[in-house]
Amino acid sequence: MSTMSAPSQRLKATAVTGYLLSLALLSTWSVIGQSSYSVAFQYGLLIPLLFPAVGLLKGKPYTHAWSGFVASLYLLSSATSWWVYPQERIIASATIVVLLIWIVASTYFARSRGRELGLGLKKLKS
């Protein structure tokens, strides 16, 4: 594998930071949030957040590309909670911000690193 350029390294670091902060905030929110669900069920809802962990930490462009789909589920949940539960707006706002950082940085990292490695969709011959 070729060495990673400085912009790609910054994007990867930003994406991983957003991911880890999202993981921490969502875990904390499961404990302190106003919910009628059991703590075990709430932590069970965090399991999909762990699926892209290895690929994100290793800097795999494909994992960064599809991890945005996982993050968007939590983004939708956080935005809904922000709207429905006014008492949770501070943690919901913080979660929305770090999820957006994760999504945007991962998208641009996948694009940048994919170009460095020569990955991409092949054009069909007519």
Measure the CA–CA gap between 35 and 89, rounded to whole angstroms: 14
Measure the CA–CA gap between 124 and 121, rounded to whole angstroms: 9
Q: Where in the chain are the domains?
A: 6-117
Q: Give pLDDT tens digits along the chain (126 positions).
A: 578 889 899 999 999 999 999 999 998 888 787 677 787 888 888 999 999 999 999 999 999 999 999 999 999 999 999 999 899 899 999 999 999 999 999 999 999 998 888 877 667 776
Q: Please choose, from the candidates 69, 60, 57, 67, the residue with its C-alpha nearest in 3D space to the C-alpha of residue 113.
A: 60
pTM score, whole prediction: 0.87
Measure the CA–CA gap between 84 and 108, rounded to whole angstroms: 32
